[in-house]
Amino acid sequence: MRKIVFALLMMLSVSAYARDPLEPRTIGAPSDTMLYIFTSWDCPHCRDWHKNIYPEIVRQFIKTKRAQLIFVDMAYTEKTLLAAQYVRCMDENKAEKMSAWLYKNQNKWNTENYKKNISHFAHNIGFTGTTEDDCLKNKELVAAIKNERDRYVALYKVHGWPTIALRRGNSVRLYSGTDTHAILNQLDRDMREMVAKDK
């Protein structure tokens, strides 16, 4: 009986914390310091960024609770918009796998058969059936992705990607490029400076 009650409580807790696909995808606990990440799955520089810089950002700033990461999908084509829909509809574990695959295999899915290619991998990681159908038919989701993209690009004056916008209060700083060492060091210095000003 205790096992059944525990299982039900776990199911309730999981559903209570399920991610709303209409909201931006985030990683990490809510924080006064936020890192907005502007990338696109068909961008070669973004692929390099995801491989080299993203894991270090998660390790140094997210897991240590120094900041929260917010993804901004630079989905300007039908292909990248479809990719964004899939990732936004998945739980975080599948979303991470899907995102990594999209970056790593740009030359495989970014073709005329992109719908079939993206769907095929999504099925491989267990994303199928009515969940997939509902996701792809969700016009509200498509509008949310586009509106969010346009709003954040205008707000932070982003002109290319990959770009990181560090924000704390009214202070905002932008970083671009794929030099892992330089970006991480500058992020660390600027974050410390912003936090010190608040004390």
| pLDDT tens-digit series, residues 8-27 | 333 333 333 357 999 999 99
By percentage, how much of the chain surpasses pLDDT 70? 91
CATH 3.40.30.10 fits 24-198, yes or no: yes
Q: How far apart are CA 108 and CA 106, in angstroms?
A: 5
pTM for the whole thing?
0.88
Q: How far apart are CA 39 and CA 161, in angstroms?
A: 5
Residue 53: which of 190, 186, 191 has the closest Cα? 186
Q: How confident is the model at residue 188 (pLDDT cuts 50, 70, 90)?
A: very high
Q: What is the pLDDT of residues 38-86, one digit of tens each?
A: 999 999 999 999 999 999 999 999 999 999 999 999 999 999 999 999 9
pLDDT score of 184 more than 60: yes
Residue 126: phi and psi, rounded to 5, are: 90, 25
User: Do 49 and 15 meet the contact criterion of CB atoms below 8 Å apart?
Assistant: no
Residue type, 181: H
